[in-house]
Amino acid sequence: MSSKSTIFWRVYLAFFTLALFALAILAKIAVIQTVEGETWRALADSLTTQYVEVAPNRGNIYASDGRLLATSLYEYNLHMDLGTAYIKELHAQGLLWSELDALAGALAQYFNGEGEKTKWQWSHELKSAFEQGRRYHPIRKTVDHIQLKQIRKFPLFSLGQYKGGLIVEQGTMRKRPYNLLAKRTIGYHGDKMVGLEGGFDSHLAGVKGQRLLQRVSYKEWIPIHDANEVEPENGKDLYTTLDIYIQDFVEQSLRQQLAKSKADHGCAIVMEVSTGKVLAISNLKTYDDGQSVDEIYNYAIGEATEPGSTFKLASLLALLEGGYMQLDDTVRTGKGSQNFHNLVMYDSKIGGHGTISLQKSFEVSSNIGFANAVGQHFGPNESRFTEFLQSLRLHETLDLPMQGEGQPLIKTPGSTGWSGTTLPWMAHGYELMLTPLQTLMIYNAVANNGILMEPLFVTAIKEVNHTLTTFEPRVRVQGVLSQRTVALAKEALVGVIESREGTAHNLYKPYLSLAGKTGTAVLEKTEKGEKIYQASFAGFFPAENPKYSCIVVINNPDRSTWRYSGSDVAGPVFLGIAQNLYSYDISLQQPKYEVAMENIQARPTFLAATIDDLSNIYQGLGIDVKTPAEATLWAEPQLQGKSIALIAKDMPTHTLPNLKGLSLSDALYLCENLGIQVQHRGMGNVYRQSPGPGTDLQKVSKVYIDLN
């Protein structure tokens, strides 16, 4: 009996223990469902669904004429959900394999380049993905919008995401249509923000949206529609001061000279005098092959160096504005070398220039002449010289709307590094630091009658066509330079080019009105004692009524193959830019030359063009022109006595017109309006086309033209 009681007691104990455990489980279930229900349901949702950020479309950056400099294009990543109910139903009916084969064939045919998958490979991959229950199988990365439209027509994919399984994820990619042009100034965004992309990122970036994704496997998520989904807000558009045409020939001139001089790198800036608008800014770095270049750094705003003799303009302004000297006052240059506090200074001319005028000292760029002139008049009170430089705010950064501006350095008496040699060396551009843009501001101020403008890179921020913010030209310094000082400084700058002894006389052209100053600075010496030079030229034009200012700086030209001075290396780039601008900007073409009627060819250059263009050309040349009475877009010129008659020319609409003699812009306009693509080569006017005139337009998709 005792043994039996023990057994019953143990059974009852086990029963009651299990009963209590069951009651505890029931109680916990009740608590989870009631008290903790919301918390656990939220946790479950977080493990199966999640919200992700959706990047907005970044704002565009435009040139001054509205051409795109940077834009965001949509790109798409494609995946396939092989677990939709429709696909499973096809499998149950024995139809899925044939559908996947058809899809594989379409994919193989569309993506048929080297290294692409064959139809068999696509088919095997898709069938294996189905058998593995893949809900997010990758199909293709980064397809564009045109490709996506075609892919949506493929078997299965044409049924959409929820039946055919095509999952489309939209993203954006940043493109610069003009590639290298102003690349570093336009900038880029990402881990390191540079240029205008970085400076105006808060406007360009837009506002991120959010999208709900659902987990379909351990690492796979697919988007699902949700009422709380937030669409991204696209970024605002930026309108810059950059001129594509000016930027193009500035870069080409700089590129050619870098290759010719085998220099390490260089930059060039063109500014509109009256407004401070930066119309072009090019920064090029040469690679080891001596030909390839890229914009990897914005030297124009970021590289502060000793400017050398281009800074003599600031010293000249200090002497003139202080009333210490006139252009015809004499200065001593000695025999080409002079000791200043146990440090020898040299002039470029062996034997020196002797005693010459301040004007000639500026024209021949005498270091000793300017060191003596500044030392004589500012030596007793050196701070007067640096205070004048500070009145031009040369010691301050320009507060540009982009990161990376180089820090200027203008020493002051008593500051670190000031010594007995500082003032004479500052007088000709050493023992101080300026960026090319900071140096250009001095020249632009003289060109602008003493008014120093803030450099302007951006004119407006817009949303679609609605202007949100405008940026107007702003005066940085005014009232420091008198009109008399400005006039004398312009005279000296013209003399550098027009005087036979001027350091830039090699740039003189009788049909151009230029003013400027050369600079040749020794930046450092190598371990072998070889000097590394910086060649520069800064100036403006036309000299009598300046519209454009420009600076060119080229670093480390190869002395073994080319001369290294500012006049030989940087000067030709300045001249090339000026010549192009004189051709580009008709307002600079003064005086107007009379055209003798007997010099007009019986067969004019333009065989056909728009009537407005032809009228403007001949009227601009002072030639009497007669326009047709009937309304017409196209015309061809004919010589009639001493006048030019514009004869209406009908352009066919069903056959390919005769393009011979048209300019490229007119040929493009005409063909594109007819729905025809144009591929061209050469420069000038059209002299050959294929297919020929009169070809049925239904048989033409592209026309090839040669220009000459």
Last residue of a domain, one of 217, 239, 261: 239
Q: Are residues 43 and 105 in the same domain?
A: no
Residue-level pLDDT at 331:
95
The closest alpha carbon to 338, from 432, 413, 421, 417, belongs to 421
Residue 397 falls within a domain, yes or no? yes
Whole-number Å distance between alpha carbons of 59 and 232: 12
The answer to whether residue 459 sits within a structural domain is yes
Of 543, 564, 586, the residue that ends a domain is 586
This prediction's pTM: 0.71
Q: Are residues 540 and 486 in the same domain?
A: yes
Q: What is the pLDDT of residues 328-355, one digit of tens each?
A: 999 999 998 999 988 999 998 888 899 9
Shared-domain flag, residues 326 and 414: yes
User: Looking at the structure, do residues 576 and 688 belong to the same domain, yes or no?
Assistant: no
Distance CA 110, CA 7 (A): 80
Q: Quick one: 440 and 524 in the same domain?
A: yes
Q: What is the pLDDT of residue 2?
A: 65
**φ, ψ (nearest 5 deg) of residue 628:** -70, 150
pLDDT at 444 exceeding the cut of 80: yes
Q: What is the pLDDT of residues 696-706, one digit of tens each?
A: 888 788 888 88
669 CB burial (10 A radius; 0-12, 13-18, 19+): middle
Residue 601 lies in a domain: yes
- Name the average pLDDT for the chain: 87
**Which of 114, 157, 158 lies closest to 137 in space, CA to CA?**
157
Q: Return the half-sphere exposure (C-beta side, CA atoms, 13 A cut-off) of residue 305.
A: 24
d(CA 629, CA 571): 51
Residue 271's closest CA among 243, 304, 297, 305?
243
CA distances from residue 479 to 189, 314, 391, 456, 482 in whole angstroms, order as listed: 40, 16, 10, 21, 7
What gap in Å lies between CA 280 and CA 585, rounded to an integer? 14
**Dist. CA 496–CA 358, nearest whole Å:** 12
Categorize the per-residue pLDDT at 225 as very low, low, confident or very high, splitting at 50, 70 and 90. low
> What CATH number does the domain containing 510 carry?
3.40.710.10
State the pLDDT at residue 418. Answer: 95
Per-residue buried b or exposed e for 333-369, using 16+ beta carbons within 10 Å of the residue's own CB: bbebebebeeeebebeeeebbeebbbbbbbbbbbbbb
For residue 69, the domain's CATH number is: 3.90.1310
Checking if the pLDDT of 232 tops 90, the result is: no
The model's pLDDT over 635-645, given as tens digits with 9 standing for 90+, comes to: 888 877 777 88
Query: Same domain for 492 and 351?
Result: yes
For residues 555 and 685, state if they share a domain: no
Residue 173 has pLDDT above 80, yes or no: no
Domain contains 193: no
Residue 299 CA to residue 655 CA, distance in Å, equals 52
Residue 591 lies in a domain: no
What pLDDT is stored for residue 440 in this prediction? 98
385 and 409 inside one domain: yes
| Sequence-ordered list of residues with C-beta below 8 angstroms from that of 331, at least 6 positions apart, any chain | 355, 356, 357, 358, 361, 366, 369, 370, 372, 373
In a domain, residue 85? The reply is yes
Q: pLDDT class for 619, splitting at 50, 70, 90?
A: confident
- Matching residue, tokens 């569309």: 110
Q: In the prediction, which pLDDT does 602 show? A: 45
CA–CA distance from 235 to each of 70, 184, 197, 461, 485 (Å)?
13, 21, 12, 10, 47
Alpha helix ranges (H) inside 111-188? 119-131, 145-151, 161-164, 183-186
Q: 635 has which bridge partners?
A: 609, 648
pLDDT at 219 over 60: no
Handedness of CA 162, 164, 165, 168 (dihedral sign): negative
Tens digit of each residue's pLDDT (9 = 90 or more) over 370-393: 999 999 999 999 999 999 999 999
Query: Do the domain assignments include residue 189?
Result: no
Other Cβ atoms within 10 Å of 204 Cβ, number: 24
pLDDT at 598: 52
The CB density around residue 666, as the number of other CB atoms within 10 Å, is 19
Question: Does residue 88 share a domain with residue 9?
Answer: no
206 and 91 housed in the same domain: yes
**Is residue 197 in a domain?**
no
Domain count, the chain: 4
Q: Which tokens go with 75?
A: 């790109």
Most confident of 60-74, 117-131, 659-673: 117-131
Give yes or no: residues 17 and 75 share one domain.
no
**Pair (133, 169) in one structural domain:** yes
Residue 93 has pLDDT above 60, yes or no: yes
Of the candidates 564, 586, 608, which is a domain's last residue?
A: 586
Range of the domain at 629: 597-707
Helices (H), 392-504: 422-426, 436-447, 483-498
